Chains A and B, each alone.
Chain A
Amino acid sequence: MISVKNVHKTFGKNEVLKGVDIDVKRGEVVVILGPSGSGKTTLLRCINFLEKADEGELNIGDISVHFRHATRQEILRVRRRTAMVFQSYNLFNNKNAIENVMEGLVTARKIPKGEAYETAKKELDKVGLSDKYNAWPSQLSGGQQQRVAIARAVALNPDVILFDEPTSALDPELVGEVLSVMKSVAREGITMLVVTHEMSFARDIADRVIFMDEGAIVEEGLPRDIFTRPKERRTKQFLDRILLKDEYVKDDYAI
C-alpha cells in the first residue's frame, strides 16, 4: 500500500534519518515510538514532502517516486493521496470548522461545493462536532480543533493519514477525546501511520509498533511483543522510562 525505502535526511551536519524502510499495508495502523530526536516526525514529514529527503523511494498505491528527484507534479499527486494531522492542529485560521474540512475537497480535488459540504458535515458529525460547523478555530478548544483536523484529514479519503504527535500539544484532560476519535478512525479501516507518546493507544489500537532511535528503526513487531518482551536493550530502556511514568497517569487517560 505505502512503502518507503532507504530514507536518508540530513539537516546540516546532523543526520536525522539513516536509511529507514517502512511498509504499511492497507488498513493497517502503525505506531512509531521513540525518544525525541529519533527522527520519527521528520520521517512523516518526508513522506508528504514537507521536508525533502536526501535519498530514498516512496510508493503509494501505483505512484512511485524518488524523494530527491520528485517533480512538483509528483509531489502534488503524493500529497493528494495522503493527509496529515499536526501536533499544533494547524487549522486554517481564516476559515470556520466546516470550511476547514471542505477546503481540500473543493480547491484541491475540485469536488462540487454542495457535495463537499455534505461530506464535511458527515465527518464533523463523526468526530462529535455537529454543533460546531460554523465555529472559528479560535473559538474551539485544543481537543476540538484537533478533532476538526482529523475530520479534515479523513474527509479527503486518503490512502494513508499521517499523525504527527496529535495529542502532544493538548491539555491532559483533552487527550482522551482525541484518542477516542483516532480509535474510531482506526476501526473504520483507514490506514494510519502514527507518531505518538500515548502508550495506551499503541498498545490497544496499533497493528504494529515500530521503535526508532537515532534515525534508524531499532525493532518492530506486534504491540504485545514489543511491550512485554522487547528484543533490543534500547527499546527496553525507553519503555521502562515511559511506562513507569505512564503507570501514574494511566487512569486519567481512560477511554
Chain B
Amino acid sequence: MTFDASYIWPSLIAALQCLHVTLILSFVSFCVGLLLGTPVAVSRKFHATWTSYALGVLIPILKGVPLVLYVLMFNFAILKPLDALSEYYAWADGLRRMDKIYIGLVAMSVSATVMISETMRSALSSVSEGQYEACFSVGLTKWQALRRVVLPQAMVFAAPVLCNNIISLIKGSSIVFVVGIMDVLNSAKTSAQINYRFLEAYIASALVYWVICATVGRIGWFLEKRQARGVAKAGGA
C-alpha cells in the first residue's frame, strides 16, 4: 500500500472534531497542576509541617509513574467499584457510563501536579535567600514574603519550564486512547479504520499536535519577552 496524501484530509477533519478533548485534557490538568503543585512546592521548600515530610516521600514516588499507568490505574480504580455498586444502586450505574474524559482528567491532573510541583520547587530555589531576608527585615511575615515578593519572582523563573510542561501535557494527552477516550489521535485513527490508511491518519494527527504545540510555544515565548522587559531576573548582586 503506497502513501496517498489525499487521505490525510479526511483524517485531519476527524482529528479536529475531537480537538476540544485534547485541549480540555491538557489545559484543565495544567491549571489543576499549577493550583495544587504550587502549594506542594511551597510546603516542601519550607518543611512547614508533617505534610511536607509526607510529600517529600510521596512526590518522588509518584514522579516515577508513567502517565499511561495513571490512566490505566484510574480507569480501573474508578470504574471497578462502580461496577460492583451498580448492582445495588442506580446512581452508580449512571456514573459507570460517564464520559471517560473525566477519568482522563483525574489521571492527567495527578501527573501534572507532580510535574508542576517540581517545576515550582526549582523556581522557588532560584529566588535568593537575600530576598526572604529583605522581606523579614521590613517586617513581612513568611506568607506576605511569599505572596508579595518570592512567588512573583519564582514565576519568572518558572515560566519557560511551565511552557514546556504544557507542551508535555498536550503530547502526553494522546495516551488516553488506551481507555478509549476520543481525542485527536484516537479520532484520526478511528477514521482510518474504514480504509486502512493509518499512516495518513497518524500524519494528520501529528500535524494537529504540532500546530497546538507551536502555538503554545509561541505564546510562551511572547510572554517571556514581555516579562523580561518588565522585571529583570537578577537585579544587581
A residues bordering B, Cβ < 8 Å? 48-50, 76, 79-80, 82-84, 86, 88-95, 103-104, 107-109, 136-140, 142, 145, 152-153, 156, 169
Give Cα A90 to B233, complex, Å: 13
**Interface status of B65 (Cβ within 8 A of chain A):** no
A104-B130 contact in complex given A92-B149, A94-B152, C-beta closer than 8 Å: no
Q: Is B94 on the interface with A (CB-CB < 8 A)?
A: no
- Contact partner of B236 among A48, A107, A145, A156, CB < 8 A? A145
Pair B149/A48 contact, Cβ less than 8 Å: no
- Are A152 and B236 closer than 8 Å at their CB atoms? no
Q: List the B side residues contacting A103 at CB < 8 Å.
A: 138, 140, 148-149
Contact B137 A84 (CB under 8 A): yes
> How many interface residues does B have (CB within 8 Å)?
26
CB-contacts of B101-149 with A (<8 A): 128, 130-131, 133-141, 144, 148-149
Q: How far is the CB of B16 from chain A (nearest CB, A)?
A: 41
The 6 closest A-B pairs by CB, nearest first: A137-B235, A104-B138, A138-B232, A108-B139, A80-B139, A88-B237
Contact present for A92 and B134 (CB under 8 Å): yes
**Residue B231 lies at the interface, judged by CB distance under 8 Å to chain A:** yes
**Are A94 and B139 interface neighbours, CB within 8 A?**
no
B139 contacts A109, C-beta separation under 8 Å: yes
Contacts of A156 in B (CB 8 A): 138-139
Task: Please tell me if B153 contacts chain A, counting CB pairs below 8 Å.
Answer: yes
On whether A136 and B134 interact (CB within 8 A), knowing A94-B153, A104-B140, A107-B140, the answer reads no
Q: Which residues of B contact A140 (CB under 8 A)?
A: 235-236
With A86-B133, A93-B232 as given contacts, are A76 and B138 in contact (CB-CB < 8 Å)? no
Q: Which of A90, A139, A169 contacts B134 (CB 8 A)?
A: A90
- CB pairs A–B below 8 angstroms (18 shown): A79-B139, A83-B137, A86-B130, A86-B134, A89-B237, A90-B131, A90-B237, A92-B134, A92-B149, A93-B234, A108-B140, A136-B230, A136-B235, A137-B232, A138-B234, A138-B235, A142-B237, A145-B235
Q: Are B152 and A48 in contact (CB under 8 A)?
A: no
- Check B236–A138 contact: CB distance below 8 A: yes
Name the residue on A nearest B128 (C-beta). A90
Mask for B142-165, Cβ within 8 A of A = 1, else 0?
Answer: 001000110011001000000000
Kindly list chain A residues whose C-beta atoms are within 8 Å of the C-beta of B234: 93, 138
Q: Which residues of B contact A49 (CB under 8 A)?
A: 136
Give Cα distance in the complex from A156 to B236, angstroms: 23
Given contacts A76-B141, A94-B152, contact A48 B136 (CB under 8 A): yes
Query: Could you tell me if A152 and B235 are in contact, using CB atoms closer than 8 angstroms?
Result: no
CB-CB under 8 A from B138, the residues of chain A are 79, 83, 103-104, 108, 152-153, 156
